[in-house]
Structure 1
Amino acid sequence: MRIIEWNCQGAFRLKNIKIFELKPDILIIPECEEEQKLQFGKLTPTPNDFIWYGDAGKKGIGIFSFTNYKFKILKEFNPEFRYVIPLEVSNGINSFLLFAVWAMDNKKNPIARYIGQVWNAVNYYQTNLANNIIIVGDFNSNQIWDEKERIGNHTDVVNFLNNYNIESLYHKQYNEIHGQESLKTFFMYRNLEKSYHIDYVFASHNLIKNGYNLKFGNPENWIDKSDHVPLVLEISELSSQISIQNTFTNFTNRNLNSLSEDIKVKYAEELSSIKKLAEKLDLQTEFTDEKFELIDKIETIKKIDKLTIKLK
């Protein structure tokens, strides 16, 4: 399987020929325009499956499948983390989780910008991390900026993921440490002299145990199209099944089961109410604001649990 990520710096429909020459099976495009502007079959090859998420039609993150793998956004998706998009990827036989990332600014809460968004997201989606998972995209981050004030810095995210046997494939393959990367992915103002490593592929050990190869595009071949180069990941044949169910009930149970026994006893009535809300949402066919009520209730009880443990 060939998975390619490329921040196209906008106007993907006008510059996508070169990326499709690389024959991606799954393609992740930060700064991609919405489907209407892509004009599938005319300006953009028609994918077998496609998901786009963004705040406006000009730029968001596009995820394309050119294989029999299909996408489903996890029902627990929290758009507060812009943009970390959690997807179930399945062909009916094999499945894995894909988190497509374009780490964004956060003007309302500056300490939660860029890598802060990723830090909040991996904590929120923590109960998914034991599954076979790939996290890929433009993190807008590097260890060299760890001293900037953030909720969680680059090293915090790397260490957190390592606890779940999820690691950066570049650093594993090239035997380099974070902050000292010899290959770069981003060239500020399209200037080859102002280069940084800010795009990453993280993956769980089970997905790469049969082998993988990660390559970067040559910046001289891409600099006329974008300030980023593509990341091209080749993974050997998959034999993978995720253990979660994509339901509100399963999401709720995974989070509530991780609470301490004291909290489960003390807040038994509230937890029962939360579970009933999740069951209600699973019976609905349309999106409602009650989803955010459920998320808020779960996050609140988790915070109470953490504070209780800290006090003890």
Structure 2
Amino acid sequence: MGFERKLAALSSLRPDIAILCEVACPERLRSQLPVLEGMPIVWVGNKANKGLAVVSFTGSRIELDSSYRSNNQFVAPVHVSGAKSFRLLATWDHNDRTEGLNRRPGPLLRCLVDSADFCSRGDLVVAGDFNNNPRWDKPNGPNNMSVLAQELARRQLVSLYHRGTGEAFGSELRGTYWHYRRSAMPYHIDYLFVPMTWLTDLVSFELGDYDAWCANGLSDHAPLSAEFRDTETYLTPPSRV
């Protein structure tokens, strides 16, 4: 929300591909920010002022896969074609409990099935706001974060934060989201999963901090960003930025 006052902060990350949650549709974005004119944008949502966007800042082609289903809400299978081509499952996993998600898998887990062919390739990246952490898992819950983490690990995907810190899911020492923007209420709910085969080309991974992104009113989330050798590809899901 309010993306026009946050673009400078996002641009400072030098993104190639950015995943943005709770952002307006392309027409509204471009009317507010002419600099976005000509930049490829894939957007999904049912309200013009709040959806999920994937933005290509450096010319990579992006295209929504035909397997996308609107009942999976804000989980978008996107083809990225450029210096580094890959398949991106951009995620704002809107885990609304009124949908009965304590009784059935959530949108991200459903998308892994509904877009099975898209997700079966070895170049899959899954990134964004999962709105989930094992601390909230229910006994045998079908939407548990531990279930999702195991499913992604089965696909040979690794969370860059957990790979770098050695921390277990649910035991993270750093948050990515601060409830009511309060520094004393951190939660780790944003993730960046990449293929294990990419790790040899990983140059850096960064998680923004509270002071830089939340204390100044930019967002209640901090961005995760990664750079890979040769392609200078950045994957940045600064939710609500």
Same fold at TM > 0.5: yes
Equivalent residue in structure 1 for 2:5, among 14, 30, 40: 14
Separation in 1, partners of 2:140, 2:40: 39
Equivalent residue in structure 2 for 1:99, among 68, 89, 107: 89
Contact 1:165 1:205 in 2 (8 A): yes
Once the two structures are superposed, residues 130-170 of structure 1 have per-residue CA deviations (whole angstroms, 9 ceiling, x without a partner) of 32111110000011111277433111111111111112111
Contact 1:106 1:113 in 2 (8 A): no
Structure holding more strand per residue: 2
Contact 1:143 1:154 in 2 (8 A): yes
Contact 1:114 1:141 in 2 (8 A): no
Structure holding more helix per residue: 1
Separation in 2, partners of 1:231, 1:118: 19
More displaced stretch, 10-19 vs 187-196: 10-19
Instruction: List gaps (5 residues or longer) in structure 2.
Output: 232-241
2:185 alignment partner AA? K
1:211 corresponding residue in structure 2: 202
Separation in 1, partners of 2:163, 2:85: 24
The DSSP-based 3-state class of the residue aligned with 1:120 is: helix
1:220 corresponding residue in structure 2: 211
The DSSP-based 3-state class of the residue aligned with 2:70 is: coil
Deviation at 1:108, TM superposition (A): 5.8
1:184 aligns with 2:180: no
Deviation at 1:62, TM superposition (A): 1.3
1:30 corresponding residue in structure 2: 21
Larger Rg: 1
**Alignment of structure 1 residues 72-91 onto 2, 5 Å:** 72-91=63-82
Contact 1:104 1:113 in 2 (8 A): no
1:48 corresponding residue in structure 2: 39
Equivalent residue in structure 2 for 1:230, among 199, 202, 223: 223
Deviation at 1:40, TM superposition (A): 5.7
Equivalenced residues, count? 228
**Alignment of structure 1 residues 112-151 onto 2, 5 Å:** 116-127=106-117, 128-147=119-138, 150-151=141-142
TM-aligned CA distance change 1:183 to 1:170, over 3 Å: same
Deviation at 1:12, TM superposition (A): 1.0
The TM-score, its normalising length taken from structure 2, stands at: 0.86
Once the two structures are superposed, residues 108-127 of structure 1 have per-residue CA deviations (whole angstroms, 9 ceiling, x without a partner) of 63226997222222233333
RMSD: 2.3
- Structure with more contact order per residue of length (Cα contacts < 8 Å, sep ≥ 6): 2
